Amino acid sequence: MSRNNLREITLEIIQENELPKRKILEAIRTKSGRSVSDKTLNEILMNLLKDGDIYITGYDFNVYEGMKRIQSIKADGIIFGQIKTNPLEINLLINQLESSNPLEVKDASNKLNIIFKGKIEKLKNSDLSDGIEINRINLLFNKIIYYINSQSKDQKTVLINKLAWSLSNEDGSIDLLKNLINYVNSHE
């Protein structure tokens, strides 16, 4: 079985549920029927992280099994989740920013920031970045969200849909992101 197949199996497993590394390794071994090494999984996970397909969602302290004094970080406890970049999923994340549950808001904000940073990197590397100031990415993201939230209900809905599309992997999304950034910057 090639590394590409292992990569696809890993994505399938993470897509089903956010899991710590040790459980991902167990699931890969079960699904593939192979004795996949820890180093192979590390390489796959790092490539998926680098490509923006997954992100780190938290840490599973159960890997320490009753230890009272924890002095090191075990990679087996790192929890991974998949970044979903279709417009509907992103729209749901944007709407979760208005939740009354602070944990839900934090989770949605973290996911959106990861997606936004990835899209900004793609924008920087494209021919479309002419004339756009992209320093201080977190500030730019917060400025866009603040601007959207300050609009009337109808305009807010339109801008949320445009932001969701611009953060997706759909055709024209990078161009739309550039236009959205320029639009928000022109209304300062």
pLDDT tier at 159, thresholds 50, 70, 90? very high
64: domain CATH number?
1.10.10
**More confident position, 185 or 90:** 90
pLDDT value at position 4? 67
Shared domain for 23 and 42, answered yes or no, is yes
Amino acid identity of residue 112, one-letter, is L
Shared domain for 178 and 124, answered yes or no, is yes
Shared domain for 12 and 62, answered yes or no, is yes
pLDDT tier at 155, thresholds 50, 70, 90? very high
Q: Is 88 exposed, middle or buried (0-12, 13-18, 19+ CB in 10 A)?
A: exposed
Shared domain for 7 and 67, answered yes or no, is yes
Shared domain for 69 and 149, answered yes or no, is no
For residues 50 and 36, what is the distance between their CA atoms, to the nearest angstrom?
21
Shared domain for 110 and 46, answered yes or no, is no
For residues 38 and 35, what is the distance between their CA atoms, to the nearest angstrom?
10
Predicted TM-score of the model (pTM):
0.73
Which of 13, 80, 4, 5 lies closest to 45, judged by CA? 80
Q: 99-139: per-residue pLDDT in tens?
A: 999 999 988 888 898 888 888 888 777 665 555 555 677 78
Shared domain for 68 and 145, answered yes or no, is no
The mean pLDDT value for 4-23 works out to: 89
pLDDT tier at 154, thresholds 50, 70, 90? very high
Provide the domain limits for residue 30: 3-82
